[in-house]
Structure 1
């Protein structure tokens, strides 16, 4: 028993420093990224929040796909060897700007050291910024540049959404989360992702049900943009919010929406977006076919498609995070 008490005391002493160290490292990483965005904003006149949005989108792809290497530096933008050095270049990891140019590669020297290294943060960000700049520096031309580069409407929407969030808050430090309903409210939930569901045809349950009384406030869990709002035959009154991790957060069976919530609106953790209800499974206005609860789902976009994943571990973590803040 004494040993346990000692261990607890030791942990209580060292754990804040561990958390602080981790927070300090993250703060330094954000500071470094912002320095790079601002540097190349000055050079290319591409506003920093566009560069941050592209970088964040690509970083998310690299974490969600197995065919892309995980990011190692501060910048997450990825160029393949063929893109960077040129498809016919015999030197796959060429760092010479002159020969890269001869073979049609995109790689450029962004820090003036005479080399174009596709693993160097400054070279990578400068190369992307120069590509965007070749189309123009206003919003419409940047949008055209993004389309020509990615050729996917959804990708353009995600990047421009990220841009709006960064521009609105003026910072990269947007990692805070909140639980979907007030922690002090009378609610309950368990892991129901993947369970069988029969309404509207046999399928799996793509979310976690949080049971609470009618009218309990429903809150945004993350920084993001309202992507959809309205009625769905199965989900009833529902809202969809896209965050900076390319993740779509789906809130269904609402009793109603918070005043002023509209598609395209920027939200932040804890912001009230609606209330718990039992709407759905019928034409607009249908309700009461099941106990009031919030269906909370999460979907990841990987640049090709979107799929559901289990929100339960995230909900548990966000509840702990919110309690710790208080």
Structure 2
């Protein structure tokens, strides 16, 4: 009986590993297709591929977090409304004729040379957005102007520019790996505390998970991203904010100190030490010791309009398991 159970356990393990490998291969194929598309458009427009990748990823993440937008189904995540694509006064919302779309001042264009400007063609969609940006230029400053004129939102521009820096730095777009915020094997504990009541500074909700650990235990970046904020907050004490490539903002609070030379605008990767566990906060700069040392870890999502907090606990458990499996 034990032999039979062992045999079936072995089969299940092999099947699980095969499924995992298959999923990873599928993901790599998607990344390869996207990067190929970005570089094809770059060759024609001279807009750096990492800006195109950043715009595409920003739009994909916005569509994932909003109910009023359809989810991305193709290689690209960029979304245009039909009337925007064909022109506001165009009577044919399904128009794919580049000449009539241009006549009605639609944004749609034929990017792959097949004679059609299709909203369902990834290359047409990517070329259409790139063509809009070309009206402003291809250097960094002019691309920022073009992005602002399209989104009319400073936050959207800063997120896209940050993503572009990350993609340029690493030279690739498959940046999905995560790390647990404190080293595995050290002394720490945590449980789900998101949504609990907090009283200091007025009645408010706890927007994060507290990881209790030894004072000065290294605190690590959990994702690929860019440091968006660093400094003091009367609630969070010494804190750091990191924006990842999926429009998530990762908030590390109550730190004892920052890593040497860490600065706003710096690019980070999973496992990079950014500071130490502490007990700072609940007062003016320098206040410490009002509670046991712990890391307050919060996550916020930007959806193109606003940003809100959500429970990081399930993600922390997942990243902890994933890092253990890698080790």
User: TM-score range with shorter-chain normalisation?
Assistant: over 0.9
What is the deviation of 1:5?
A: 3.4
Q: Distance in 1 between matches of 2:5 and 2:247?
A: 43
Which residue of structure 2 lines up, in the alignment, with residue 293 of structure 1? 294
Which residue of structure 2 lines up, in the alignment, with residue 69 of structure 1? 70
Q: Secondary structure at the match of 1:230?
A: strand
- Normalising to structure 1: TM-score of the pair? 0.98
1:139 aligns with 2:140: yes
Q: Secondary structure at the match of 2:27?
A: helix
Which residue of structure 2 lines up, in the alignment, with residue 169 of structure 1? 170
Q: Secondary structure at the match of 2:99?
A: helix
Q: Secondary structure at the match of 1:313?
A: helix
* Ranges in structure 1 where 5+ consecutive residues have no aligned partner: none
Which residue of structure 2 lines up, in the alignment, with residue 307 of structure 1? 308
Q: Distance in 2 between matches of 1:93 and 1:149?
A: 23
What is the deviation of 1:6?
A: 3.7
* Ranges in structure 2 where 5+ consecutive residues have no aligned partner: none
Which residue of structure 1 lines up, in the alignment, with residue 101 of structure 2? 100
Which residue of structure 1 lines up, in the alignment, with residue 112 of structure 2? 111
Q: Distance in 2 between matches of 1:227 and 1:199?
A: 26
Q: Distance in 2 between matches of 1:248 and 1:236?
A: 17
CA deviation vs aligned residue, 1:175-214 (integer Å, no higher than 9, x gap) = 1100000011100000000011111111111000000010
CA deviation vs aligned residue, 1:232-276 (integer Å, no higher than 9, x gap) = 001000000000011100000001111111111000000000000
Q: C-alpha root-mean-square deviation of aligned residues, in Å? A: 1.0
Q: Secondary structure at the match of 1:201?
A: coil
Which residue of structure 2 lines up, in the alignment, with residue 84 of structure 1? 85
Q: Distance in 2 between matches of 1:226 and 1:291?
A: 26
- Normalising to structure 2: TM-score of the pair? 0.98
Q: Distance in 2 between matches of 1:101 and 1:269?
A: 46
Q: Distance in 2 between matches of 1:85 and 1:308?
A: 37
What is the deviation of 1:170?
A: 0.3
Q: Distance in 2 between matches of 1:8 and 1:84?
A: 54
Q: Secondary structure at the match of 2:295?
A: strand
Q: Distance in 1 between matches of 2:102 and 2:306?
A: 33
Q: Runs (4+) of structure 1 moved beyond 2 Å? A: 1-7
What is the deviation of 1:4?
A: 4.5
1:219 aligns with 2:224: no
